[in-house]
């Protein structure tokens, strides 16, 4: 009976250790995902700003020569 109690205790300890590892990995992954999401938001914001600047630049240059913004040059 003592062997069964020792074996049970060892198995319970191993399960608890694995549970702790799972929690740590989950926490690490969640913080890593949050960091990547934050970087993605910043990059999307940078892309939006760059696109706005591009529109502003090209709209002004098109207006100087009397063109409509985003006029299709291949249209007849």
Contact 62, 71 (CB under 8 A): yes
More confident site: 70 or 59: 59
Contact 9, 3 (CB under 8 A): no
Confidence of residue 63 (pLDDT cuts 50, 70, 90): low
pTM above 0.85, yes or no: no
Measured distance CA(55)–CA(69) in Å, rounded:
8
Instruction: Count the neighbouring beta carbons within 10 Å of the beta carbon of residue 26.
Output: 10
Per-residue pLDDT tens digits for 14-51: 999 999 999 999 999 999 999 999 999 999 999 999 99
Determine the pLDDT at residue 29. 96
């Amino acid at each position: 009976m003592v062997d069964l109690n020792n074996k049970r205790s060892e198995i319970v300890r191993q399960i608890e250790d694995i549970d702790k590892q799972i929690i740590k990995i989950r926490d690490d992954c969640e913080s890593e995902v949050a960091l990547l999401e934050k970087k993605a938001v910043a990059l999307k914001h940078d892309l939006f700003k760059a696109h706005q600047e591009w529109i502003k630049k090209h709209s002004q240059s098109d207006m100087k020569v009397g063109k409509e913004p985003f006029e299709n040059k291949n249209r007849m």
